[in-house]
Structure 1
Amino acid sequence: MSPQTRLAHARGWGRGRWRVPRLNTGETERAAVLYRRQRRQGLLALVALLGLVFGLPLVFAVWPELDHIRLAGLPLSWGMLAVLPYPAMVALAYWQLRRAERAEER
């Protein structure tokens, strides 16, 4: 048994049942608006991610010359496939996080 499991069992279930907090009417409406706004923003970020993931093969199909251009002995298309998506995904995640935080601050 892992130490984490032992800790969890040692704590027991004596804390009682967790209940969902109740919000008043104004807070409920604000939470619903915030949820819809962040869901819309999240879907936009998801579409951008899908565009990145499915756009690269499309770029390679449209410009097959990228296979013939070499950087450090490797085809440019391999470099784009191995390097480009990760910084782009980090930038996309940062962009989405900032937008979600701004939505909460309003």
Structure 2
Amino acid sequence: NSKIGRNAKQSGRPVKVINVYKKPPVGRLGDKVLVTIEHEKKKAYIVGCKQRQQTLVPKFDSNNVVLVDDNGQPLGTRIRAPIPSCLRANTDPNFVKILSLATTFV
């Protein structure tokens, strides 16, 4: 629910991933990515994918990301999108902050 995220929803322009910060350049759940939103570059974590997932990992109706600043702090104060329970095992300290802001887990 960050200001930049709300403006992007109102304008109808989706977030576009331009870089994935890992070796095989394919974004999966829990990966850190570089996105463009409202003509700005921001870092984000992928928390929901439309593509087919492994067994016991939910498939979502839309692609969801959580925007973070350069220090890894989430830009919003709440995360309304459901987060897969399999991401709770992620021990990245910046990702733990995201999990604490989440309201629902699937």
Normalising by the smaller structure, the TM-score range is: under 0.3
Question: What's the TM-score, normalizing by structure 2?
Answer: 0.18
Structure number having the greater strand percentage:
2
Larger Rg: 1
Question: What's the TM-score, normalizing by structure 1?
Answer: 0.18
- Using CA pairs under 8 Å that are at least 6 residues apart, name the structure with larger relative contact order, 1 or 2: 1
Structure number having the greater helix percentage:
1
